[in-house]
Structure 1
Amino acid sequence: MTAFGEWTLVHGLPAFSYTMDQERDPRASWDPILDPPTRRHVVHLGNRRITLVADNYGRFDLFDEHTGLRWLTRETGVATAGGLSTAGSTTERLFGPAFAVVRVADERVRLERTVLCPEGEQPWVLIRLRVRNLTDEPVRLPLTEEWQSRPADVRLISGPAPAPDPGLELELIGGERTRAGRLTIPLDVEPGGERTVELRYGLLGEDAQEIGGTEESLAGLAARLPRAHAGQAPEAEREVPWHAALLTGGACADGVLGGHTLDQGSCYSFRHGFNGAARDPLQHALPLVYTEPDLALSVLRNTCAWGSPDGDLPYALGPDKSPWTDLFRPSDQNLWALWLAAEYLAATGDVAAFGADVPFHPVHDAPPVPLGEHLRRQFRFFADVVGRGDHGHVRILNADWNDLAISRSGAPAEDMVERGESVLNSAMAAWVLPRYAALAERLGDHATGKEARGLGATLRDLVAGEWTGRWFRRAYGPGVVVGEDDLWLEVQPWAILCGAATPDRARELLTTIEATAAAGSPLGARVRWPALPGGKAGDGAVWYAINMTLIWAAAEHAPELGWSWWRRMSLASHAAAYPEVWEGTLSGPDAYLPPEAARPGRTWDLADLGVAMQAYPVANLHAHAQPLLAYLRLLGVVPDGSGRLHVGGGASFGSRALTVTPDGHGRLAATGHVELITPSGSVSGAGPLTW
């Protein structure tokens, strides 16, 4: 239970029953900071093309990213049956993993409206209206479904602005179609009887395919979502399928670059108008390797297509999908592509995928090359252009993972950009590069594999030398050492994962983090300790992406801490700590402010720069991807530097791609030859493998 309602099951799927009367309950009001206070609470649902935004008033938005960032409708979509309307503050509202239900009744009839994103890539929603006669007499009434097209293109930073009519249509399935957005069906309902009407709304175009109904789509959804059970974290049974649904619901078939985009969403896409950074879709796709590997590959191909022929990836894409390089030039982007590619190959054995052509961004007017060549060029860009600094660490450029690393370093920004070095990126590269080396070797590029493996080993040894006696240093600049006297969390897990810490040192460091950065924080470890005062820009905030690597690092060396930190990452933990905060109930931002902040349990803002996560604090895909990947790592699912996939146990996970049981048995639906390291020993081969 929270102030907003409680979890339940619908069609065997997790769903949330929203019971708050937002007009009367003062806890409903919240402040987006960049916009006026509001009582509207939303959740984002979707398929592989359309995003449905359902709210607590029974209204909906539709968002489409196929050719650009565009709202198709805003706060619309209402059904009426006689005098009943599904729009209001006291109707029964239910949010499911790809659908929303509104129920309302009077003394004569009961109206139930389900709006569903159908399975697949359809750019429209299914609508099912059920009218039940509650009386002993026949009832005749008009049943009306109405939407209003309110298109708006999201402009960079400045937000939505009116856009041309996208051509939305409403269709009674098997009957009338209209662009007016309103259809009325006369109904006669027998005493105690029920009538069902199904419609669809969206970009119907010339689509004449046979349309499956709501029940068929719900059955497909239930079959697609993974299942989980963990005695160490009972929340997993509900949250793993929920996160998987909202993560994949953020995907969109890309009509410009091909493949599927899987951007962060939240304030970045929906209010500020950009898809960035490039690392984000790549890391969001990592857990999909084990649930929907075809989508993981599609996201990898799409993100590689952002780039240029020299292997550079832009920081972000603008609202029209053009490269946006004006703000940040981070030094870590290529590593995420190499990581996703290596993990995909280790889990699927799909060598053929790396021989298929992938384009470069159209602005470069360059011919496509195979995916494997994209990755080779990205490695070359990382090794030769990003390069290393005076201490041998990876150059920081004007940011690494942390956009504020330069400004918080204590060194002049110009000096850090020119000569700064990131121990974080050295540690991450020391883990990623051996895995990429295994991929390159399997593709026959032994020279690149040897170079990548050697560079990874060199960086690992350098990171090992950054131990201060309590933690690992964070960065170097001209005359500046960052992280000598304060703990920067983001580098610590990677130092453990890459092997720079001995097992004893790893356990010591994890214990230190629990006693410092994680102390007293119900949602996870702070990114900085001691935290800087204020925390408006995220100093000391609890970041999903960093707590994921922390849980992963603990999985081998201190699993009890890993499970404890996973539970703190859960929606259940946020609801228990902050039951009156909507963000964190069903979805969330990329980071939460810690308990000592002015707005604990909410998220960061840079209001003086016109940017705020708090302006759109839900539907950030880190809130869904990171718990999934962290859960898999706790089960020992991880690739090694030889290209093998390790799979453990201790809890259960089941999807169409991978099954793991608590006793270490399992099944992998590989498409090519793979090698597994399991509790039962090595298993190798092509096709479905069991152990």
Structure 2
Amino acid sequence: MVRENRSYGSGNFGDWITDAHGLPCYEYLCNQTEDPIAVSPVEVAWRSPTDHTHQIGNDRIVAAASNYGYIQVRQDEGGARFLNDYKPDSGFFGAGLGYLSDGEEVLSTYYPGTGKSFDRFFGTGYLRKQTAGKNYSIDQTIYAPFGDDPVLISEVIVSSQSPHTANLSWVEYWGCQPYEFSYQAFADGHLSTPFGTQVIPEEVARLRRELAAGYEHRFERLSASAGMLESKRLLSAPSPHLGVAMQEEVASGSSALPNSSAVQQSSAAGEDALPPPTFLASLDHGPVRCLTDAASFFGPGNVLRHTGAAGPESVLVPAEVLHPAGLGSIVPGYGIPQEIAPDDLSTTGPESALILFKPFILEAGQTQTLRFIYGYLPAGFRVTELLAKYRAQAAGLFAKSCAAWKDEGIQLAVDADPWVERETRWHSCYLRSGFTYDDRLEEHIVSQGQVYQYCIGYQGAARDPLQHALPLIFGQSDLAKQVLRYTLKTQAADGSLPYAMTGHGQIVPNLAAPSDLDLWLLWLASEYILATRDNAFLEERISRWPAATEGQALTVHECLARAYRHLVDTIGTGKHGLLRGGGADWNEQIYFRNLPENLRDQIGRESESVMNAAMGAYILDHYARMLRYAGDLGSARDAQVQAEQQRNAVRAQWTGKWFKRLWLGDSTGWLGADRMWLDGQPWAILGDCATADQRKTLFQSIEELLRKPSRVGAQQLSSPVDWPGVMPGESKNGGVYDTLDGPLIWALAANASVAGPGAAYEEWQKNSRAHHADTYRDVWYGIWSGPDVYCSSQSDHAGQTGFDPGLTDPEARRRPNNYRGLSWTAWPVMNMHRHAWPLYSAAKLLGVEFTEEGVNLAPAIPRPQYRFHSRLLGLEKSVRGYQGWYAPQKEGKWTVRFKLPASEQPLTQQSINGKKQTATTQAEGVIQFSGTSSVEEPLSWSLSYD
């Protein structure tokens, strides 16, 4: 059903609006307890099928905010976990819930379903809930203050519609039972069944909660009646065990899951025995009462009445919010003066929580604001300092935080398409608010998120944060640099990078080690240094983790050289001159799907990746540019030679319509001769591997076989392959990936004269959240965030993400190798590819390419007026022409090469740092000029028609 009068890109779950601070906000309007479109196919051990999640956070803390009104706070120091488990039938309700009572009327900020006034807003960095009753209304906003503090603020505005003065009570609930993202538990949750080895979600969840049950909580009162501090220690942990089926798989070499000894090592050091303490306090004057017994507060009937109406019989879906049974014991009756009873901090088991009771008087028709602070205390943070800081600025803090988000990251505004500005602001917030802090490696990091982090339990693969950091170069470049440091600290002595990390600095073993990770590292490092001109970073020393003496520390320059040598010498090339594929490149599935197990070792030795080679043709050239800028001319020449060798090797794999994908060895031969894989094709264009005629044919093939058939971004495959257990058009059998479509947008923009002047912008739009939400209106996880892959038009589930057939077809569970137990619908949002690539490719729509001398620009947005803004670089187009700026970190003289779109009339005037000159157009519509910048002043310029 299409609901009318909604903003473009709103889908059928709500409406995009602009909030009071001028920021995008999604007003969530769906009643998920009754509307069938709200149900996603998912194993209920992972999540409720009607639970729709929004992300809030800052540089350190991340919270998953539910359409039911609760949140779960993620904390990574000591190992990633949720601090607030959500399992209603066990008495765990997440966090951020509030209850207002006068002794008679009770209002709750947990979504009640039908028949109640309740509004929800997913804002830029916040969750807002509004509800109203007979005499009172509540407006609760939970947000993470902009910056690096591990805290959330709950701001509650209570308004009276009563004709009488009232003695009211507010109860603030934040659960404190953790839920570990234990990779050990995920590994142990692979069990043997009559139909093969499967992930058993119930077993994974049971093991994780069994671990959490081993924590003992300790509570203490904070000074000045502010609130309370909770600390926990692990008294006992489950004995680590490796499933029999996994042992068999590891012994046979048939699994990419970790081997037994590695899992045991991870378990021994990966579980945090003393996590950082948490706290909950009032930021207002006046007394509060502290309680920890959540079981008594909610009572045996729980806070929810459950029904199976909106899903399978086992699904717990709230039909009605019930009053907590213990609320009456702490709230005086109507009209009775408030008296604070003694604290009760005696409950310390799994049933405990942080519960604050705050009494206050509200005059008839008046409004009062209550503020609370929740957080955790990693090393370097003290609760007294945080309380003092946020009490001092509490009143104006939310507005200040919103103002900071408004100025964050890359912003693109297109007058003809007003939704574009909304979307890029949203992406900038989501990307930065996805950061956490790893106290073992002592750097901020942005994981891929989604199922990988929240279900499997690891931060990986290494290539993913390296991609996510690319657009941060334009805004918060220090975070991009920290991602580089984090990655280099995990680099082995031979230059290799680990596939993924888990626990408290534990490496996740992977039997099919990817061969492409060095390329992503060299790309980000080169892009960062060329863009910001921070070549001093090359001399910074990196100590290999977990520890190294000062003498063992290498410079960033040396670490990058080690990665380069690992790529060239260890990964190396095969018989066709292409970089080897090893056991996997970006697309690990094509190395083992539907291939005999006895060939896997041979494939690992002999495979060659056209995708790696095409990437190498561009990235090694870019690395050479950076080395020339840094003055390392000898290494630059070597990298350039290697780039040219890869370029020539790719050219030899032309099929007549596209480039092949992969050489799997003498026994198997070529993959990609009979069908087109998008993997690597854009890189072949960007790396200058295709002749002029080939480029024209390749763009035509991409258009006809991959772009036109898909209603959203370009699909990965021209026709699916026959892979057991992977449906056509899903996952890496023809899905739609931002990681592939981002480079495609870039290639289309860089070749507008061949691909078409509007092709790049059209593809950028097709990959947008707005277009997906407008095309697949009943898919909730396409609106404000999404997974790393969508099902293409080749799939029966187009517009959704991949899920196991067994979730909708019970017979599929009984077919061997057809049911894995983990679907991407288990956590289909908060994948950072969906937010990083639209931002980085927005810069590529302007033709941004950083060089040794400066920056090249070649706009490819076919609109009369638009504005691209970031701290590093800006470009604005108006009816008079273009203007822009470049603001690197160091002063210097920079050359700008501006290529005017072929359809536009020549620009005749230019102004460089305020000095007007006549503009001279060179060959192919290029205008070249130079100017200086300082640390305080950017290089500013304009080009006009008169």
Q: Could you tell me the TM-score, scaled by structure 1's length?
A: 0.95
Shift of 1:259: 1.9
Q: CA deviation at 1:231?
A: 5.1
Q: Is 1:132–1:193's contact at 8 Å kept on the other side of the alignment?
A: yes
Aligned-residue offset at 1:325? 2.6
Residue 737 (structure 2) pairs with residue 543 (structure 1): yes
Q: CA deviation at 1:8?
A: 0.6
Shift of 1:532: 2.5
In the alignment, residue 394 of structure 1 is paired with which amino acid? L
Aligned to 1:380: 565
Query: Where in structure 2 are the equivalents of 1:100-249 lying within 5 Å?
Result: 100-156=127-183, 157=186, 158=189, 159=204, 161-162=208-209, 163=212, 164=215, 165=232, 166=275, 167-173=277-283, 180=292, 181-204=354-377, 206-207=382-383, 208-209=385-386, 210-211=389-390, 212=393, 213-230=397-414, 233-249=417-433
Once superposed, what is the RMSD of the aligned Cα atoms?
2.2
Shift of residue 328, structure 1, vs aligned partner: 2.9
Structure 1 residues 318 and 609: alpha-carbon distance in aligned structure 2, compared to 1, 3 A threshold: farther
CA contact (8 A) 2:409 2:474 kept: no
- Name the CA distance, whole Å, in 2 between partners of 1:182 and 1:643: 59
SS at match of 1:188: strand
Structure 1 gaps of 5+ residues are: none
- One-letter code of the match for 2:871? R
CA drift of 1:308 comes to 1.2
Shift of 1:503: 4.0
Q: Deviations over 1:437-482 (max 9, x none)?
A: 1222333332221111110011112212222110111122323122
SS of 2:588 mapped into structure 1? coil
The correspondence for 1:589, drawn from 787, 792, 802, is 787
Which residue in 2 is equivalent to 1:15?
Answer: 25
From 811, 833, 836, give the equivalent of 1:622.
833
- Please state if 1:368 is matched with 2:553: yes
- 1:468 is aligned to 655
C-alpha offsets along residues 384-421 of structure 1, whole Å, 9 cap, x if unaligned? Answer: 11111111100101001111121258683222211110
- Is the 1:46–1:250 contact (alpha carbons within 8 Å) kept by the matching residues of 2? yes
2:887 corresponding residue in structure 1: 669
**Match of residue 481 from structure 1:** 670
- In 2: Cα distance, 1:585 partner to 1:544 partner: 15
What CA deviation, in whole Å up to 9, does each residue of 1:133-178 have, x standing for no partner? 2234333311221111120211213455133334321011155786
Distance 2:931 2:622 in 1: 18
2:59 equivalent to 1:48 = yes
Amino acid at match of 1:381: H
CA distance in 2, matches of 1:173, 1:430: 56
C-alpha separation between the residues in 2 aligned to 1:347 and 1:556?
A: 18
Q: CA deviation at 1:434?
A: 1.4
Is 1:635 the counterpart of 2:833? The answer is no
Q: What CA distance in whole angstroms lies between the structure 2 residues aligned with 1:445 and 1:355?
A: 13
Shift of 1:248: 0.8
How many Å separate the matches in 2 of 1:333 and 1:325? Answer: 15
Report 1:419-438 matches (<5 A): 419-438=606-625
| SS of corresponding position for 1:264 | coil
Structure 2 match to 1:440:
627
Structure-1 separation of matches of 2:719 and 2:547: 45
AA matched with 2:79 = G
Q: After superposition, where does 1:251-650 map in structure 2 within 5 Å?
A: 251-362=435-546, 367-408=552-593, 412-479=599-666, 480-532=669-721, 534-535=727-728, 536-557=730-751, 558=755, 559-605=757-803, 608-640=819-851, 642=852, 644-649=854-859, 650=861
Counterpart residue type for residue 883 of structure 2:
H
Distance 1:148 1:190 in 2: 31
Q: Report Cα offsets for 1:352-406 as digits up to 9, x if no partner.
A: 1221122222178893322222111111111111111111100101001111121
**Secondary structure in 1 matching 2:663:** strand
CA contact (8 A) 1:400 1:425 kept: yes
Any idea what the Cα deviations from partners look like across 1:498-549, whole Å, max 9, x if unmatched? 0112344323312221211222311211111112352354301011100111
Query: Aligned partners of 2:420, 2:825: CA distance in 1, in Å?
Result: 27
- 1:53 and 1:627 map into 2 onto residues whose CA distance is 22
* Structure 1 residue 246 displacement after superposition: 0.5
Which secondary structure does the structure 2 equivalent of 1:298 belong to?
A: helix
The alignment status of 1:690 with 2:909, answered yes or no, reads no
Matched residue, 2:100: 81
Cα deviation for residue 573 of structure 1 reads: 1.4
2: distance between equivalents of 1:130 and 1:420? 62
Q: Secondary structure at the match of 1:661?
A: strand
The answer on whether the counterparts of 1:555 and 1:634 sit within 8 Å (CA) in structure 2 is: yes
Q: What SS does the corresponding residue of 1:12 show, helix, strand or coil? A: coil
Q: Is contact 2:410-2:471 (8 Å) kept?
A: no
Q: What CA distance in whole angstroms lies between the structure 2 residues aligned with 1:70 and 1:227?
A: 32
Q: Is the 8 A contact 1:22 1:89 kept in 2?
A: no
Q: How does 1:645-656 map to 2 (within 5 A)?
A: 645-649=855-859, 650=861, 651-656=866-871
Give, in whole Å, the separation in 2 of the partners of 1:362 and 1:219. 39
Shift in Å, 1:182: 1.7
Cα drift, residue 227 of structure 1: 2.5
The match for 1:66 is: 77
Tell me by how many angstroms 1:121 deviates: 1.3
What one-letter code is carried by the residue in structure 1 that aligns with 2:25?
A
Q: Percent identity?
A: 31
Counterpart CA distance in 2 for 1:664 and 1:351 is 30
- Contact kept in structure 1, 2:846 and 2:858, CA below 8 Å: yes
Per mean C-alpha deviation after superposition, the further-off stretch among 205-214 and 548-557 is: 205-214
* Structure (1 or 2) with the larger CA radius of gyration: 2
> Which SS does the other structure have where 1:488 is aligned?
coil
Q: Which runs of 5+ in 2 are unaligned?
A: 1-9, 86-93, 190-203, 216-231, 233-274, 293-353, 805-817, 899-926, 942-946
CA distance in 1, matches of 2:699, 2:291: 59
CA deviation string 1:316-366 (max 9, x = no partner): 112332112324311110111111111111111111122112222217889
Q: Which stretch has the larger CA shift, 470-479 or 547-556?
A: 470-479
The whole-number CA distance in structure 2 between the counterparts of 1:116 and 1:387 is 49
State how far apart, in whole Å, the 2-side matches of 1:520 and 1:309 are: 46
Aligned to 1:5: 14
Q: For 1:506, what is the secondary structure of its paired residue?
A: helix
Compared with structure 1, are the counterparts of its residues 485 and 410 closer, same or farther at alpha carbon in structure 2 (3 Å cutoff)? farther
SS at match of 1:602: coil
Match of 2:34 in 1: 24
Contact between 1:261 and 1:303, CA under 8 Å: does it hold in 2? Answer: no
CA contact (8 A) 1:647 1:676 kept: no
Inter-partner Cα distance in structure 1 for 2:617 and 2:120: 49
Shift of 1:610: 4.3
